Amino acid sequence: MKKGYPRFFLLPGLILLIAIIIFPLLFTIRVTFSSWNVSQTGLNFIGGANWAEMVRDTRYWGSLLRLFYLSFLTVAIQYALGFAIALFAWKGIAARRFFRVLWLIPMMTTPSLMAIIWRSIFTEDIGALNGLLSRVGLDPVNWLTESGPANVAITIAEVWQWTPFMFLILLAGLLSLPKEPFMAAAIDGASAWKTFARVTFPMMAPISIGAIMIRLIDASKIFDSVFTMTRGGPGNATETPAAYIFQRSLQDFQIAYGSTLALTYLILAIVTLTIIGKVFARLSKPRGI
Amino acid sequence: MYKVLKATFITIWSLFVLFPIMWAVTTSFKPESAVVNGATFIPFLEFQPSLIGWKAILPGPDSITNLFTPTLNSLIVTAGATAISLIFGSLAAYGLSRFTYGWKNYSNADIIFFFVSQRIMPPVVLAIPFFLLLKQLKLLDTHLGLILVLTSGLMPIVVWLMVDFFNALPREIDEMAMLEGCNPIQAFFRTILPLSKPGLTVAGMFCVIFGWNDIFFALTLTATKVLTLPVAVIALNGTVTPYWILAASTVFSIIPLVGLAFVIERFLSRGSLGGAVR
Amino acid sequence: MSLILKNVSVTSEKDGVILDDISFEFKPGRIYILIGRTTSGKTSLMRAIAGLLPIDSGQITMNGEDFDEKPIWERDVAVVYQQFINYPNKTVLENVEFPLFRKGMSKTEAREAALVSISKVGLSDYLDRKPAQLSGGQQQRVALARSLSRKSHIMLLDEPLMNLDYKLREQLRVEFKEIFNSQKDAVTIYATTEPPEALILGAEILVMHEGRIIQYGSPTEVYEKPQSTTVARVITDPPMSILPVSISNGEIRFGDGYAQPIPAKMKNFKEGRYQVGIRANDIEIAKSGGEKGTISLVEVSGSETLVYVDTPSGEIVLQMEGIHDVKVGESISIELPGNRLFLFETTGALCVSPDSAGE
């Protein structure tokens, strides 16, 4: 089109974003080759020492692996639950308005603050959950002081927080589906399960993939619940990369080393998510969707 | 059979959703004895409600913390970041929808991907350099500093949502405006923007939610003056604060956004969300 | 005051040649009809004139001014689209006033001019309605009013009646003709795919095919003397049947040996292969003899029946008045009256037209 008009629209936002993102990123890259920490600030050059140390950092790699499992697990549960609720809500429920508001609420709460509440629920001696368990005659569980239960606790908090998000997107998707295939299935006498497996699910594929990708991207950054509920504990049992890096770089003030971890974290996240995205894209194509 | 399944499922899920909230609310009204001696659940039956939690956070003689200033800070910062993201993001999204940009080998799709992929950036990666940078610029612990940094995470969302939205508005409308004497900027402001309210509302809603709830940047980039609400409450959590006070603070902090939930629900029932989120 | 196109060409990577070396002069005060199939380039030509489609080579000038210097919003071109485009959030009155404010008119002037146009299209009772509250025909009239009120020097209408129902189309066609005949200093270009529309409305018809103008002239000229088989197919509805034949021994021979005496107009042509064309309503059912064929399709449309017949020479379409009970698969004998035949070269060029005094 004419001269400067297209630029007027795109450039301000693009430049702002580049300024906010690229320069800090470049700085981070540079800093990883220095030894900036609490006792020595400033950009010196020490070669790849930080990188070498990172490779030996088992706590870091442990946190990455943990994040991998955690994000997949939570997103899978959120997807299954969210889809189920969306399916039920799709055909209409009584008191629709009430439920819609209710189910929207977790998403609107502040994750880190709800994590405080979850802490009060999961606390061993005076927490709500153990209280309930003992009232029904079951043994209390060491939610926050044992590694397994602690991860379960985090998972529960994440599922509570984000399933409504999945639910919203999936419901919007269901509502936008054309009616004809369903009428055809009904005429053919398909059972509810068959209709779901052969009609609903395939037609929802693009939306499902979109929703899962969005949630995976957010799940790859899990920090809030871990930081407030368990501080990564017990020990490092629930520590995610974000929590670990936060501690190393902004609390222990090892800027250079922390930046190295952060940069690797970013690269791994981009690579993994891109691969997953491409896999999904390929999965949805051959079926002619 | 199906109906039973459905009813059970919905009931269980609703109870699950309600539980933490009810727990938080009841706990905020518990006296010390109702917490320290083991979990209690039902007010009046298992304990007598007390206002010590609330008194501790609201202004008054028993107050141990001020939550109003942080609330104000959160409002300013969220509003600022949302406004900037909406403005710059929508303009960029409109450009990407209507014009073809081609620098070297980068197409429109690539540029959109660049914007949207910023969501992948873990806050921790940016927090470190920003901490140092803002320190240099003396923007640490300022509203402006935090607003700018939050924008980096919010603009991608706006671009992502609004590009799809603008693509759905017929090009012929802006074409018609141009044929009738508007240059592209006038065409945008006079004809497309008035039609964009649903999209902007949804985008704005996401901005507000993510902006208000951010703790990462708020934690690292603010200290005392621009403390935001979530950070203030987390600070309470860090010191050994009793649960009834923590519960009261949490409930207090959550109220604004939960209120927003009612507004959004009304919006949803008008069907506007379906179109904007594809 | 003319709109002149010189050697205008547009190519795209995806679709190939869109406009192929178009040169034409559009004079003000007349209605030009662009007729052609859907991909023939009619819309592209209009978009190029409006500035919505950048041209790769050539020149467009209006009143001597080169359009290359002028962006869309300075070109004074009015467009009525196929899809009833109006501003959804403005009322009918606001819609029509909008371009007038853009031109710099004051509030009162704009309102007056808008009201005049709105009454011309018969919507004076609907001033406060929004487009979504109007029917398709009314919406298109608002679009029309908006374009008229601007008094632009170039008016482009791209198949504006296509999305309306049959009766409305007939009605609006008549109204259009009256309205546009009164636009004395504007160039009006109207695109359509329907021959009847072209013939009713046009002062001059441009036949387009594959990005080129393949014939132009008055409706009578184009209808009676289509320069090529392509034009003949585009301008007739139902399409003219065209069959390969050979001329020898004073006869026209068709595919299976069926032969007719050669009509007087064609006597002077050399022996050899040609193509023969005949309009659907000129074909008759033979009472005796005639070309034989089998019916492959029967379409009842309005008050006519279209019968598609497979003959050894090719497919023939004939049009019969009234509704007839003919069935697919039946045999049928048809007569191709010699004095109604067109003769074309094998290349497609016109040799003889039945309506004019020979070539």
pLDDT score, position B275? 39
pLDDT score, position C356? 65
Torsion of CA B3, B5, B8, B14, to 10 degrees: -90
Q: What would the mean pLDDT of A97-122 be, rounded to a whole number? A: 87
What does pLDDT average to over chain C? 84
CB within 8 Å: C85 and B195: no
Sheet holding C3-12, edge to edge: C16-26, C3-12, C57-62, C65-66
Residues on chain C touching B178 (C-beta within 8 angstroms): 72-73
Among B residues 136-175, those touching chain C with beta carbons less than 8 Å apart: 170, 172-173, 175
Is-contact B113 B106, C-beta < 8 A?
Answer: no
Q: What would the mean pLDDT of A258-283 be, rounded to a whole number? A: 88
Residues on chain B touching C142 (C-beta within 8 angstroms): none
pLDDT for residue B13 is more than 80: yes
Q: Is A287 on the interface with C (CB under 8 A)?
A: no
pLDDT for residue A174 is more than 70: yes
Nearest chain A Cα distance for residue B23, angstroms: 8
Domain ranges of chain A: 58-283
C: neighbours with 3+ CB pairs under 8 Å?
A, B
Query: pLDDT digit string (tens) for C76-124?
Result: 899 998 888 889 888 999 899 988 888 888 888 888 888 888 888 888 8
Written as six digits, the tokens of C313 are: 């020479």
Contacts of A81 (CB under 8 A, 6+ apart): A159, A163, A166, A167, B13
CB within 8 Å: C85 and B170: yes
B4, closest residue in chain A (CA to CA) = A88
Region of poorest pLDDT, from A125-129, A258-262, B201-205, C24-28: A125-129
The Cα B17–Cα A164 span in angstroms is 10
> pLDDT higher for A1 or B21?
B21
pLDDT for residue A26 is more than 50: yes
Secondary structure (3-state) at B182: coil
Q: Is B15 on the interface with C (CB under 8 A)?
A: no
List beta partners, residue B231. none
Select the residue from B173, B180, B189, B195 to test the C interface by mutation, using most C Cβ atoms within 10 A.
B180
CB within 8 Å: B180 and C98: yes
Sheet holding C251-253, edge to edge: C259-261, C251-253, C241-248, C272-278, C342-344, C350-352
Band (A82; pLDDT cuts 50, 70, 90)? very high
CB within 8 Å: B129 and A207: no
Helix axes B2-28, A96-108, angle to 10 degrees: 50
Query: pLDDT digit string (tens) for A225-248?
Result: 888 888 877 888 888 899 899 888
pLDDT score, position A179? 84
Among C residues 257-286, those touching chain B with beta carbons less than 8 Å apart: none
pLDDT for residue B272 is more than 50: no
Residues on chain B touching A94 (C-beta within 8 angstroms): none
Which CATH number applies to A58-283: 1.10.3720.10, 3.50.50.60, 3.60.15.10, 3.40.109.10?
1.10.3720.10
Residues on chain B touching C81 (C-beta within 8 angstroms): 172, 176
Which span out of A161-165, B36-40, C7-11, C54-58 was modeled with the highest average pLDDT?
A161-165
B: neighbours with 3+ CB pairs under 8 Å?
A, C
CB within 8 Å: C150 and B173: no
List beta partners, residue C293. C332
Q: What would the mean pLDDT of C124-135 be, rounded to a whole number? A: 87
pLDDT for residue B273 is more than 70: no
pLDDT for residue C292 is more than 50: yes
Q: Is B197 on the interface with C (CB under 8 A)?
A: no
What does pLDDT average to over chain A? 85
Nearest chain B Cα distance for residue A150, angstroms: 17
Count other Cβ atoms within 10 Å, centred on residue B102. 11
pLDDT score, position B81? 94
Q: What would the mean pLDDT of A160-169 be, rounded to a whole number? A: 91
pLDDT for residue B277 is more than 70: no
Is-contact C95 C104, C-beta < 8 A?
Answer: no
Query: pLDDT digit string (tens) for C187-198?
Result: 889 998 888 888
Query: pLDDT digit string (tens) for B17-69?
Result: 999 988 888 888 888 887 777 777 777 777 778 888 888 888 877 777 788 88
C interface residues, A as partner, C-beta within 8 Å:
71-72
- Using CB atoms, which residue from C81, C83, C102 is nearest to B180? C102
Q: What would the mean pLDDT of C249-257 be, rounded to a whole number? A: 79
pLDDT for residue B79 is more than 90: yes
A5, closest residue in chain C (CA to CA) = C71
Q: Is B108 on the interface with A (CB under 8 A)?
A: no
Select the residue from B85, B108, B120 to test the A interface by mutation, using most A Cβ atoms within 10 A.
B120
pLDDT score, position B98? 86
Secondary structure (3-state) at B151: helix
Q: What would the mean pLDDT of C284-312 be, rounded to a whole number? A: 80
A11, closest residue in chain B (CA to CA) = B92
- Using CB atoms, which residue from A93, A101, A242 is nearest to B262? A101
CB within 8 Å: B181 and C146: no
pLDDT for residue B278 is more than 60: no
* β-bridge pairing C3-12 and C187-192: unpaired
Among B residues 156-175, those touching chain A with beta carbons less than 8 Å apart: 156, 159
Share of chain C above pLDDT 90, in %: 4
B196, closest residue in chain C (CA to CA) = C89
B183, closest residue in chain C (CA to CA) = C73
Residues on chain A touching B215 (C-beta within 8 angstroms): 110, 112, 223-224, 227
CB within 8 Å: B39 and A126: yes
Query: pLDDT digit string (tens) for B222-244?
Result: 777 788 888 888 888 877 778 88
pLDDT for residue C357 is more than 60: no
Instruction: Enter the DSSP assignment of B28.
Output: H
pLDDT for residue A215 is more than 80: yes
CB within 8 Å: B181 and C103: yes
Task: Please give the C-alpha separations between residue B260 and each of A95, A109, A123, A215, in angstroms, as whole numbers.
Answer: 20, 10, 30, 22
**Phi/psi of residue C41, nearest 5 degrees:** 110, 5
Q: Is A227 on the interface with B (CB under 8 A)?
A: yes
CB within 8 Å: B277 and A84: no
Count other Cβ atoms within 10 Å, centred on residue C88. 15
Share of chain B above pLDDT 70, in %: 95
CB within 8 Å: A16 and B96: no
The rounded Cα A208 to chain-centroid distance in angstroms is 15
B170, closest residue in chain C (CA to CA) = C85
* β-bridge pairing C187-192 and C154-158: parallel
Query: pLDDT digit string (tens) for C41-71?
Result: 889 999 999 988 888 888 898 888 888 878 8
Name the CA radius of gyration of chain A, rounded.
23
Q: Is C99 on the interface with B (CB under 8 A)?
A: yes
What does pLDDT average to over chain B? 83
Band (B82; pLDDT cuts 50, 70, 90)? very high
C103, closest residue in chain B (CA to CA) = B181
Nearest chain C Cα distance for residue A2, angstroms: 7
- Using CB atoms, which residue from A10, A27, A100 is nearest to B265? A100
The rounded Cα C345 to chain-centroid distance in angstroms is 24
The single residue listed with the structure tokens 């699910």 is A201
Query: pLDDT digit string (tens) for C137-188?
Result: 888 889 988 888 888 889 999 998 888 888 888 888 888 887 777 777 888 8
A91, closest residue in chain B (CA to CA) = B6
pLDDT for residue B136 is more than 50: yes
Count other Cβ atoms within 10 Å, centred on residue C106. 10
pLDDT score, position C156? 92
pLDDT score, position A149? 86
Q: Is B9 on the interface with A (CB under 8 A)?
A: yes
The overall pTM is greater than 0.90: no
The per-residue DSSP string of A8-59 comes to HHHHHHHHHHHHHHHHHHHHHHHHTTS---SS--S----TTHHHHHHHT-HH
The single residue listed with the structure tokens 């702002």 is A16
Residues on chain C touching B168 (C-beta within 8 angstroms): none
Which span out of B12-26, C223-237, C316-330 was modeled with the highest average pLDDT?
B12-26
Nearest chain C Cα distance for residue A225, angstroms: 45
Instruction: Enter the DSSP assignment of B276.
Output: H
pLDDT for residue C358 is more than 50: no
Which span out of A211-215, C338-342, C349-353 was modeled with the highest average pLDDT?
A211-215
Nearest chain B Cα distance for residue C138, angstroms: 18
Is-contact A82 A167, C-beta < 8 A?
Answer: yes
Q: Is C161 on the interface with B (CB under 8 A)?
A: no
pLDDT score, position B5? 82
Residues on chain A touching C70 (C-beta within 8 angstroms): none
Chains A and C form CB pairs within 8 A to the count of 3
Q: What would the mean pLDDT of C313-325 be, rounded to a whole number? A: 80
CB within 8 Å: A242 and B119: no
The Cα C92–Cα C141 span in angstroms is 10
Band (B268; pLDDT cuts 50, 70, 90)? low
Q: Is B177 on the interface with A (CB under 8 A)?
A: no
Q: Is C81 on the interface with B (CB under 8 A)?
A: yes
Is-contact B221 B134, C-beta < 8 A?
Answer: yes
* Predicted complex ipTM: 0.84
A2, closest residue in chain C (CA to CA) = C71
